[in-house]
Each structure stands twice: as structure tokens, then as C-alpha cells.
Structure 1
Amino acid sequence: MSRSSIHTNGIWFYDLRTNKHFTLKTRTLKEDDLKDFITCYNPENRHERKEAERFKYFTYDELIARDKASLDIFWLKDDSLDNLDELPPPDVLATEIIEHLEAALTSFRNVAAGLNSE
């Protein structure tokens, strides 16, 4: 693909997953959790956006150089990987795993139902 046919110079990413640990039941995403994103996104004037801890700009060349142009990008350090002694108690971890599995199962059931109705 020629560079002249590219219609973007880069992409802004906001990392809302690292060290946040949202769940569907016990730690749901709330409007307050999005305030930093809204500030960084700067909807009033997108040309004045600035990088921040969780908000980063990647150029087209940086993105295309990634293995298979993957957009699975991490730059923040996941604190939970450093100190295993600070992990939540096993019952909390088990509850979170169950919630994630139930959500995945519900999503898969919806996909399967959609396939059956076609």
C-alpha cells in the first residue's frame, strides 16, 4: 500500500485495563472511571490532545511495524505481576473468574442464537 493512500497519520490509545480490574458484578465500570479518558480525549479540541500516563499516540509507521500490525498495545506496567503477595484473596479471584466465564458464556449464547436464526 502506498503511503499516499493512507488516510491517517496515527492513532490515540487510552489504556483503561491495566491495573483497573473491572468485573461485571463486584467492580463495575462507572462514569467516574471514564473522567480521565474524557479529559485526555479532549472532545472540544482534538488537535490539542497531549499524551498522559494512560493516553498515548502511536504513529502509522510505529503501528505498521508491529507484528501483523497488532493493535494489542501495552505500555503501562501491570502491578499485579510484580507482587504475588498482594493478589486479592482466592475467593475474590474465584468470583472474578466465574463472572468472566459467565459473561463469556452469555456472549457465546447470543452469538449461537444469532447463528440459529439466520
Structure 2
Amino acid sequence: MTDKKYQTFREFYPFYLSQHEDKTCRALHYIGSLLVIATMIYILVTGKALYLLLLPILGYGFAWVGHFFFEKNRPATFIYPWFSFLGDWVMLAEFITGRKLIEGSHS
């Protein structure tokens, strides 16, 4: 982790990406995020709100396995929960579109 205190998401995001350099870690993030989207769609279609309980398990479970076993670092979520949450979605969007959405990112 870093001692730097990030004030904006724009300055945090390059650090966020530096914590996700392992391809397996990133893939696990993408899988977890896509499962969150699929589960949300399922909930909206079926009205089974109890499945909302799965969302943090899917979203963070896959990501944390990536960090602890592949990237071998501590998730930024523990220090920057909101910026890290946003980072997950921006990183996924950059992967899907193949475009940088945040200037200075190197996804």
C-alpha cells in the first residue's frame, strides 16, 4: 500500500491500476464485476431481492482472491473504499471498450 493520501479519483486511479498488474488478478476482478451485473439483472427480472446478499460476495470475493493469491498485495478497498469501488468499474469499462477513460491510466 502507499502512504500517499489521494484526494481525487483521477489521481488515485493510476495507483489503483498499479495494484492490479497481475493478469489473473484483473481477470478475477472482471469475473466478479460481470457476475454482479448478471445477478443484478436476474434480481430485476425475477424480483428475488434476497440475491442482493450475493453482490458483495461476488464483487469482493473474486477480487480479494486475486489480490491475496496472485497479486500478493492488500486491496486498496481497505484504505480507499469509494475510489476502489469506482476503480473496479472504470477498469472493467476500459477492458471492455479497449479505451482509456481516465487520462494517465495505462490499463
TM-score grouping bracket, smaller chain normalisation? under 0.3
TM-score normalised according to structure 2 size: 0.26
The structure where helix makes up a greater share of residues is 2
TM-score normalised according to structure 1 size: 0.24
The structure where strand makes up a greater share of residues is 1
Structure scoring higher RCO (CA < 8 A, sep ≥ 6) equals 2
